[in-house]
Structures are given as structure tokens and as C-alpha cells.
Structure 1
């Protein structure tokens, strides 16, 4: 399982939101390039970037910062936030981004997403951000009537991955929603990347039990910024498959 550190960009700074609320943002570092290099040096094999300004605006905003990060790193970078047309996606690929993450258009323009997946096979990831099982759009500011599982079923098999985020858990450090992850994984063969709620090494290791059903990666954000998770330790632990480190009945608590 791949442990992927996250950097959320707002106003060119590295921030974290609470449950996707822009009004509850906390700046962790004013130099995102410095942070990205730190995660790479700790063993990250991929970086997850979210352009929060872009998500609100409907088009990429932090392009200069993204370019600097991509050029500074030796590892692949995946980027989401405001990618709602083909030119925006192509802009990122021209910067050297490895994967473009689309979300809102998966609900509003499914034919465009299918076209992007076929034009750029295994380079387009689909972000499914769920609030009470329904897909949120436009930077989580709106909630559609589309069920997360139904959207997962409809995604082209040429997609690189599905990034599933439980909005109510994002930035809360309360643990991943294993039940929802298992449900999403059960309706598609596309690799699932878990996102939202990671608070400890045990949370990360608990997801190893879902790897056989399709949960192949986990994104970690606030927990590594607050020191609750040591990224290098987590990467090593996952590589070692230290399932014995998971407390007894941990899954029962996480699903409560």
C-alpha cells in the first residue's frame, strides 16, 4: 500500500481545512515547495496536491506553485482542484504533473471524463468526495443527488484511480471510514485511494486489510502536519506489513 502525503494549496500556502470548510483553514507552511521536498526526503513515492483556490474558481489557480513543486521533485505528483475542462487538464500535464484529478465534472460532464480517461489512459484519477453517501461538487461547496457508489460504477476502466474522501472525516483525525471504502471497492475494479480522517499509524495499518479488495493507497494530510503520524515510519511500517501493530477490534471502533 502506498502512503501519499497531501499538500493543500490556498493563496500559495500549504494549509489544511476542517471538513472542507474554507473558513476553517490553518496555514502550516508558507513554502509548499519546502514541504514537498520534506515529504520526498522522508520516502514518499507520490505527492497529492489540491488547488483549493482552483476548486472554488473552477479552473487552476496555483499554477506557478504547482510548477515549482513538480520541477523540484523526483517523484510523481497528482493534482486536483478546479479541473472542469480539457484545457485545464492539459495545462497540468504540460507542467509535468503525472495525474490529473477530476471531481465535479464526473457528475456534471461524464462524457468529458470518459473522453479524458481514453485520451490520457491511466493518467486521470476521479475524486469522489462524499457527504452522507452523496457526491459533493465545486470544492465541496455543493452536494449533488448522485450516490458515491453509483458514480464509482460508471467510471471508465481507463481511470488511474478513484480517490474516495469522506468529507465529514477530512481534517478531523477521527479515522477512515472503512465501511464506505469497502462499499466503494466492491462496485469497481479501479484502484481505490483512501482519503480523510487518518489520525495515527494504526489507522493506516488498518487499511491493509482492505488492500485485497482494492484499496491500494492512502492519503495522509493533517496527521503528518500535526506530528500524529511520522511519514517515514508509516511508509516503512506499511512496507513491512505490520498488521500486528493494529489494536484488537480496531475496525469495529473505526466503523462506529
Structure 2
């Protein structure tokens, strides 16, 4: 299982939000490239970036910060936020992003996602952010009437590299990851699932590791890494180990 340290970009800085509220932002580093180098130095093999301003505005906003990160590290980087057309996808892939994450457009234009998967095989993930089980879009400002599983099922056999599932009510709140909802989603899909939102301790990683057999391929971790609740070395050793006892229960 892969652990993805999160770098959320707002106004050029590395921040964490509380439940997706832009007004509830804590700045952890004003130099995102430095933060990226730190994560690589700690042994992480991927980075997860989100252009928060871009998610609200529907177009890339923190491009300079993203390019600074790409120039600072040589591990693969996935990016979401404000990516809503094929031109923007191509632009980021050409700049060195390894995988783009499509969220809002996945709900509004699912055919565009399928086209992107055909044009850029293995380079497209779908971000499904749910509030009380229903998909939220546009930087979580709007909640739809579509359930997370129903949206995810639209992309089965489309070539989506992963479904990144976030429980918005858990995100940044340090209340624990929603293991049950994440494993249930993964169980119903053939597409790998990456868990996100609420990871607060090594116990959350243990719980997710136990459900690896359902199809959970990775986990995104933000605030708990920044404030030291999760020790990188311990987390990396746990998630790269053999399946946790009890997986077959």
C-alpha cells in the first residue's frame, strides 16, 4: 500500500483545510518545494498535490508552486484541482505531472474522463469527494444528489488508474479515516481505491492495511504528517509490509 503525503496549495503556500473550508486554512510551509524535498528525503515514493484555489476557480492557479515542486523532486507526483479539460491535462503531463486527478469534471462530464483515459492511459485518476455519501464538487462548495459508488461505477473498465475517495467531514478534522465507507467502495470496484480524509494516527493506517484485500491501494495523509502524529519511517514500514493479520476474516 502506498502512502501519499499531501501538499495542498493555497495562495502559493502549503496549507491544510478543516473539512474543506478555505477560511479554515492552517499554513504549514510557505515554500512548497522545500516541503516536497522534505517528504522525498523521508522516503516517500509519491506526492499528492491539490491546487485548492484552482478547484474553486475551475482553472490552474498555483501553477508556479506546482512547477517548483516538480523541479525539486524526482518522485512521481499526482495533481488535482482546476483540471477540467483535455488541454489542461496535456499541459500538466507535459510539465512532468505523473497523474492528473479529475473531480468536478468526473461528475459533470464523465465522457471527457473516459476520453482522457484513452488519450493518456494510466495517467488519469478520478477524485470522488463525498459528504454524507453524496458527491461534492467545485472545491466541495456544491453537493450533488449522486452517490459516490454510483459515480465510481461509471468509470469501471474505462482505464482510470485509481479512484481517490475522500470523506469530506473527516478531512483535516483528525477524527479518523472512514475505513468502512472506503473499503465498501473498494470492494464493489475493480479500479484501485486510494483513501483520503481524516487519517490521524498509525492506528488508521493499520485499519486501512487490514482492508487492503478489498482493493485499497493507497492512502493520502496530510495534517497528521505535518504535526508529527504519524512518523514517516513507521508508516512506510507498516504499509510496505505483508498484509496485516486478519485480512481474510
The one-character-per-residue Cα deviations of 1:220-246 (angstroms, maximum 9, x if unpaired) are 0010011111122210122234847x9
Segments of 4+ in structure 1 off by > 6 A?
none
**2:42 corresponds to 1:48:** no
| 1:178 to partner: Cα distance | 1.2
CA offsets per residue over residues 122-150 of structure 1, 9 Å max, x none? 11000000001100000100001111010
- SS of the residue aligned with 1:38? helix
Deviations along 1:57-115, whole A, 9 cap, x unmatched? 10111111111111211100000001111111111111100000000011100111110
Distance 1:240 1:152 in 2: 28
CA contact (8 A) 1:152 1:187 kept: no
Give the SS at the match of 2:188: coil
The answer (yes or no) to whether the contact 1:6–1:219 under 8 Å persists in 2 is yes
TM-score normalized by structure 2? Answer: 0.95
Could you say which residue in structure 2 is the equivalent of 1:153?
153
Contact conserved, 2:209 with 2:243, CA < 8 A, in 1? no
Question: TM-score normalised to the size of structure 1?
Answer: 0.93
- DSSP-derived class of the 1:49 partner: strand
Partner residue, 1:83 = 83
Gaps of 5+ in 1: 247-256
SS at match of 2:71: helix
Q: Corresponding residue for 1:124?
A: 124
Q: For structure 2, which runs of at least 5 residues remain unmatched after alignment?
A: none
Counterpart mapping for 1:11-26 below 5 A: 11-26=11-26
Which residue of the partner structure matches residue 235 of structure 1? 236
What is the RMSD computed on CA atoms of the aligned residues?
A: 1.3
Name the counterpart of 2:172: 171
Give SS of 1:160's match: coil
- Residue 135 of structure 1 corresponds to 135
* Map of 1:223 onto structure 2: 224
- State how many pairs are aligned: 245
